[in-house]
Amino acid sequence: MSARAEMVRSWLLGLQDRIIDGLQAADGKPFITDGWIRGPEERLQGDGRTRLVEEGNVFERGGCNFSHVRGPNLPPSASANRPELAGASFEAMGVSLVLHPRNPYIPTVHLNVRFFTAQPPSGDAVSWFGGGMDLTPYYGFEEDATHFHRTCRDALAPFGADTHARYKQWCDEYFLLKHRKEARGIGGVFFDDLGAEGEVSFDHGWGVTQAVGDAFLAAYLPIVERRRDMPYGERERDFQAYRRGRYVEFNLVFDRGTLFGLQSGGRTESILMSMPPIVKWRYDWHPEPGSPEAKLYTDFLPPREWV
């Protein structure tokens, strides 16, 4: 393993520890730790550490995973935008997080930061960074959306005046259920293939990745604290389960991280950690006009400038 890879791995493990410390303090229930190793006889080699809570005091289900894997061939989801890397061996490491709170007034949240190196059959190795975080509320609150997006903007401010705007737009375009023409949530920031073309230095891509990961707790925990004690009933839980169905649809149909894990032979339990525990679908259902549920569709899901 190169010195750069060792540096990234050490930071990712530390990020996982810091995030779990913050989440455990907020929830009050310890997350379980499940370490795993894939040996040389496996299709995918490497190791990882899954940290998970189920039936917590705040989080109905949630986890924060670290993985570091190597394989002989990049799966189609990772080489779709770079066909010249088809057939390349690869090394990938990252931290991925999804939290599904019980209270419908607390949004679901997702974070991922990752580092890839691919070695084509001929030519030089190519490395890049990717990541982002996004918020998926069930009931919209202007102050929560503004806080989340402002934290993302401030984290990226040192990397160029237009960086946040570009990564916000990328997020809005990525987390879209194309078959429904509907956003999964209210977005955040998203970037991928950063540094793959040599357009930025390793240090720049590494700095962006660290900034996004380091900003997560500040972006999300204040929202948890504001909403955790709000009373709710069966109506709100029912709508939450319905909207969680959109989360499942996106992750299984479009999400590149989920597809990468499944296509490369990754650890299924860790990959599908992102699935919510209770989900509902209905045929051609629409919220009552003027209701709080309808407001999510009219005022929050359409992309807008929050800061």
Q: Is 286 a catalytic residue?
A: no
- What Å distances lie between residue 199 and 61, 195, 226, 306, CA to CA? 39, 6, 41, 29
Measured distance CA(170)–CA(164) in Å, rounded: 10
Measured distance CA(252)–CA(258) in Å, rounded: 7
Helix (H, G, I), strand (E, B) or coil at 93: strand
Measured distance CA(159)–CA(133) in Å, rounded: 17
At 267, list the tokens.
């650890």
**Count of H helices and E strands in the chain?**
9, 9
Q: How many Cα atoms within 13 Å fall on the side-chain side of residue 42?
A: 15
At 65, list the tokens.
């995973």
First to last CA, the chain: 41
The catalytic position among 68, 100, 110, 149 is: 110
Q: Which residues are catalytic?
A: 110
